[in-house]
Structure 1
Amino acid sequence: MSLNLSFDNTANAFEYKSNQQLKKAHFLFSAMGNNWLVNIGTKITPWAIKAGLPIKGIIRSTIFEQFVGGETLEQTAKVADKLEEYHVQVILDYGVEGGDYGEDEKDHARDEFIRVINYAATQHNIPFMSIKVTGLVRFSLLEKMDQLMHEAQGTLIKRYEQVLTQLNTDEKAEWQRVWDRMMLICTTASSKNIGVLIDAEETWIQNPVDALVTLMMDHFNKEKAVVYNTAQMYRHDRLQFVKDCFEAAAQRNFILGMKLVRGAYMEKERKRAEEMNYPSPIQPDKASSDRDFNAAVTFCLHNIDRIATIVASHNDESNLLAAKILDEKGLPHNHHHVHFSQLYGMSDNITFNLAKAGYNVSKYLPFGPIKDVVPYLMRRAQENSSMSGQTGRELGLIKKEMKRRAIS
């Protein structure tokens, strides 16, 4: 590629980190390269938190500080302000995970999401916030609806409409409350000009989530992209899903909001498919995931008038591909329908070099009490535990910058 864009510049990547912070990151990624240590840590930490053992201080000063903005919005604001100095935007994520909580907890999650939207609207560099539908709805209700949708015929929305007639009276009332929570969140976001990114979930609950998000886009995305769905491209059916969503957007006359990720539940998905004896929904290999991800990027950016795309990737090639397409089409780096994003604490070489080149780029920045974000942190530790993968890459970049700064 002839692009004048490189992700090798560590001076740009780590300019926002002090020498001490860089050394701390080096220590943490070195520890995460130890599979034995990660395996023990990810098993013991959630138990220790639940048991009330005094380990929060250790977590806060290590993995929490690396990957999370803070325990409160106020703490997270300091991180967001620091990122803004380097033209990096923020996707705020209140770190509530799914669970079969009561209705009061689900209403509390709705209120927290709205609080995040209202806060983001007061800041210059927070264009988006992220939510998990499983924070607003009973997991087992989604499971039932998904199963019924698999048995129904027709398009996604037609199958969803059929399923609604099959729910009992209590379930219909429960789903109406879910719908009302989403409507209030999206209405607030639309009025405050903040984008709402809906996270992907496990395959066995994804269908009703996709239907819900599609209908929210149909309602709120007529003139601008407010609501975004997420496509996990490590699923072998998601490239077609993105194309089907585009067709739905064209038919219903709304702007499709699509966040492209590779995915987050691969081992869980494969294990469940094997245990329950059904074909795995996951791609056969990484090359297939990469191929479909890049094909989705190409498809979305070639339909840029109708699709607002978030390229949420830690892959150099995928980010360079999106940048190249913008250049080939003669479009500005900061086109309002193209946004890049990486997780806070990872791939700073991509984020800060994109920002330096004038692209719209953000850090996905979770926040919340330590006990609430532990599941998120354990996923980060596990996915970084392969030295040949992300951790090795992060360590190599950190060592390069430490050498450049002559830090021992």
Structure 2
Amino acid sequence: MWNVARLLRSGSALVWSLPCRAFAHGPQSALSFSDSEVFRLKSRWEVVRGLLIFRLCSVPSLVRNSEKLLSLSRRLLGRRLFEWSMRVSVYGQFVAGETLPEIQACMDRLARLGIRPMLAVPIEEDLGESKSGERWYEQNEEIMLRCVDLSSAGGDRPMMQLKITALMSADLCKVLSTCLSDPSKQPELSPERVVSIMEGQGSDFPFLSDEENQHLQTSVRRLSRVGKHAKAKRVRVLVDAEYTYMNPALSLVTMSMMAQCNTDEPWIWNTYQCYLKDSYKNLSQDLDCADRLGVCFGVKLVRGAYMDKERKLAKEKGYSDPIQPDWSATNRSYQHSLDKLLDLIGQGGQRYNLIIASHNEESVHHAVRRMSGLGIDQRGGAVCFGQLLGMCDHVSLTLGQAGYLVYKSIPYGSVDSVLPYLVRRAQENQSVLQGIRKERDLLRRELRRRLLGRS
């Protein structure tokens, strides 16, 4: 693993250039996400690569079988040729790199485009994958602390993403989530109780085994150290939501981190998946909890990415489908939560922070209009936008050039460590991948302009 200290000792820091104004819009003007001119900021190879990859990603059978196809390619090409082919194609499109110079070069390139990095270590765990002992989670803690250090060198208001299951067993998260559904156990599983454990004062829960209690204590203390280190480095940590069978536990732990760290600003943020029927209710409950605890509150608002698996599990286990009935219902859910948060920010300033993590143009347009109507400063930091690296660049670039705060979620690491993450994200986001026709058309238009030598 590369050493972040090298970057910090070198004294180098990213210089966040002011956004170019070639495509800027006045504060009252509607942003246009249909102008291929924003892609003039990309190299010719980036345009060509994007076209090729988006064409492949829009074929559902290729996405569904991507893991098998990659395994076959690895056997046929050999390790070195396979890795080279990935670096110039899929890995190069969606990943910052592996070494410090590669990651810094990616962040520098985004900075010149008016876009900020949100680093993401692609480490997570699902049920049945729990590791024996604490060593794996301890190693992940060191990786997360280094991610904080690297993020802190990334300019003003740096952010990073964190998956709880990198530091706490997914199996334990499911056990805790089940306990949280039991009214008799809910009072004990409070943020205050978890904070006491984080601070070394907690006692065992009678409904957990000795092994579960021990792992809970070591896990939440790991998370506490990461949160406190991030606050000291002034890095905002966006905790990812995962599957419904573990999300209640993730929210409990995240709220506990907020209680520790968010006394002055929202350093720890939680994620809300609006394709879930109960997302607005959960958001409202957590807002009430933050008020009760007297802490600041940060939110990453997403539609969600686990729809197929969630519906399959609901059918297999015989419980009610947790997903919204259709796309329109999901959009209404997203806008409902978005409006609630924007209203709070309009009234409460910096106490509430929000990242609109969406590839949906209408949601972005709606947010921009409401920000203007509520008088929310587009560069004040309380509201920002986010998309995945390598996707939805026509939205990201337009926002960045217009002066809005926009972040790219940037995974990094070796080819072998990141490819499984990319495969999961592609399979979970098939509906998004099939809806990138507009970006392909804009890239095609830009490539045609360059080939024909038009100004």
Which residue pairs with 1:131 in the alignment? Answer: 162
Letter in 2 for 1:298: D
- Residue 84 of structure 2 is aligned with which of 57, 63, 67? 57
Which residue pairs with 1:100 in the alignment? Answer: 130
TM-score when normalising by structure 2: 0.83
Q: 1:383 touches 1:390 (CA, 8 Å); kept in 2?
A: no
Give distance in 1, aligned partners of 2:145 and 2:336.
34
Q: Does 1:226 align with 2:267?
A: yes
Give distance in 2, aligned partners of 1:237 and 1:18.
43
Which residue pairs with 1:182 in the alignment? Answer: 223
What fraction of aligned residue pairs are identical, expressed as a percent? 29
What's the secondary structure of 1:375's corresponding residue? Answer: helix
Which residue pairs with 2:290 in the alignment? Answer: 249
Letter in 2 for 1:15: R
After TM superposition, give the deviation of residue 120 of structure 1 in Å.
1.7
Aligned ranges for residues 262-301 of structure 1 at < 5 Å?
262-301=303-342
Which residue pairs with 1:342 in the alignment? Answer: 387
CA deviation vs aligned residue, 1:242-282 (integer Å, no higher than 9, x gap) = 11111111111111111001111111111011011111111
Which residue pairs with 1:76 in the alignment? Answer: 103
After TM superposition, give the deviation of residue 330 of structure 1 in Å.
1.9
Q: Aligned in 2, Cα 1:205/1:386: closer, same or farther, shift over 3 Å?
A: closer
Aligned ranges for residues 141-160 of structure 1 at < 5 Å?
141-153=172-184, 158=189
Q: Aligned in 2, Cα 1:148/1:387: closer, same or farther, shift over 3 Å?
A: closer
Q: 1:10 touches 1:397 (CA, 8 Å); kept in 2?
A: yes
What's the secondary structure of 1:196's corresponding residue? Answer: strand
- Residue 86 of structure 1 is aligned with which of 94, 98, 113? 113
What's the secondary structure of 1:8's corresponding residue? Answer: coil
Give distance in 2, aligned partners of 1:150 and 1:387.
32
Letter in 2 for 1:100: S
Unaligned runs of 5+ in 1: none
CA deviation vs aligned residue, 1:219-238 (integer Å, no higher than 9, x gap) = 11111010000001110100
CA deviation vs aligned residue, 1:315-353 (integer Å, no higher than 9, x gap) = 001111111111001222112211110000000111111
Give distance in 1, aligned partners of 2:72 and 2:205.
38
Q: 1:69 touches 1:367 (CA, 8 Å); kept in 2?
A: yes
- Residue 6 of structure 1 is aligned with which of 3, 18, 32? 32
Q: Aligned in 2, Cα 1:207/1:52: closer, same or farther, shift over 3 Å?
A: farther
Letter in 2 for 1:403: R
Unaligned runs of 5+ in 2: 1-26, 195-203
Give distance in 2, aligned partners of 1:295 and 1:240.
11
Q: 2:121 touches 2:411 (CA, 8 Å); kept in 1?
A: yes
Q: Does 1:235 align with 2:276?
A: yes
TM-score when normalising by structure 1: 0.93
Give distance in 2, aligned partners of 1:319 and 1:154.
40
After TM superposition, give the deviation of residue 360 of structure 1 in Å.
0.8
Q: 2:118 touches 2:161 (CA, 8 Å); kept in 1?
A: yes
After TM superposition, give the deviation of residue 39 of structure 1 in Å.
3.0
Give distance in 2, aligned partners of 1:190 and 1:388.
35
Q: Aligned in 2, Cα 1:207/1:383: closer, same or farther, shift over 3 Å?
A: closer
- Residue 31 of structure 1 is aligned with which of 42, 56, 59? 56
Q: Aligned in 2, Cα 1:371/1:167: closer, same or farther, shift over 3 Å?
A: same
Give distance in 2, aligned partners of 1:156 and 1:7.
48
Q: Which moved more, 1:214-223 or 1:185-194?
A: 214-223
Give distance in 2, aligned partners of 1:323 and 1:30.
30
Q: Does 1:140 align with 2:145?
A: no
What's the secondary structure of 2:242's corresponding residue? Answer: coil
Q: 1:157 touches 1:211 (CA, 8 Å); kept in 2?
A: no
- Residue 114 of structure 1 is aligned with which of 138, 145, 152? 145
Give distance in 1, aligned partners of 2:65 and 2:295.
48
Q: 1:32 touches 1:384 (CA, 8 Å); kept in 2?
A: no
- Residue 333 of structure 1 is aligned with which of 356, 378, 400? 378
Give distance in 2, aligned partners of 1:404 and 1:44.
34
After TM superposition, give the deviation of residue 20 of structure 1 in Å.
2.1
Letter in 1 for 2:222: R
Give distance in 1, aligned partners of 2:74 and 2:254.
34
CA deviation vs aligned residue, 1:56-96 (integer Å, no higher than 9, x gap) = 22222211111111123431111100000121101001111
Give distance in 2, aligned partners of 1:172 and 1:383.
32
CA deviation vs aligned residue, 1:112-153 (integer Å, no higher than 9, x gap) = 111011122123157101111111111111111111221235
Give distance in 2, aligned partners of 1:364 and 1:391.
18
Q: Aligned in 2, Cα 1:385/1:289: closer, same or farther, shift over 3 Å?
A: closer
